[in-house]
Amino acid sequence: MRVIEPPTAKPYLCVMSAIHLTEAAAARVAVIATRQGGVPAILRLSVEGGGCAGFQYRFGLETDIAPEDLTTETSGVKLVVDPVSLDLLEGSEVDFVESLGGASFQVRNPNAASGCGCGTSFSV
């Protein structure tokens, strides 16, 4: 997590507000973390090159937060994003959606110009 030290104040954590983690997504991460032996409820979201549209989302549980990571928190669950991915994710919402076809984490990304049919990759 990045620490910013203003000249006249004590250090404080740089908290990201550019991405929103919904209550449904936070609840699902908490369940997964509990099932994996009580690991910290920290969800990492990153963007990688690949997929049929150029970029793809990567989700994973973390046990540590890197110094350069930016974080946001919903109901005790942290979402962490690296600075490079944040440029492509700013303004996004991370949700967990259940339907007859299955359940998945979904990213509503206003920066995505188009996406692929599978819903896991996008272009800008």
| Per-residue pLDDT reduced to its tens digit, 8-48 | 433 334 445 689 999 999 999 999 999 988 888 899 999 98
Residue whose entry in the numeric block shows the structure tokens 């030290």: 5
Going by C-alpha positions, the residue among 73, 61, 59 that lies closest to residue 14 is: 73
* Segment 64-75, tens digit of pLDDT: 899 999 999 999
- The CATH class, in words, for 3-123 is mainly beta
Q: Where are the domains of the chain?
A: 3-123
pTM of the model: 0.77
The pairing of strands 3-4 and 12-13 is: antiparallel
For residue 44, give the 3-state DSSP assignment. Answer: strand
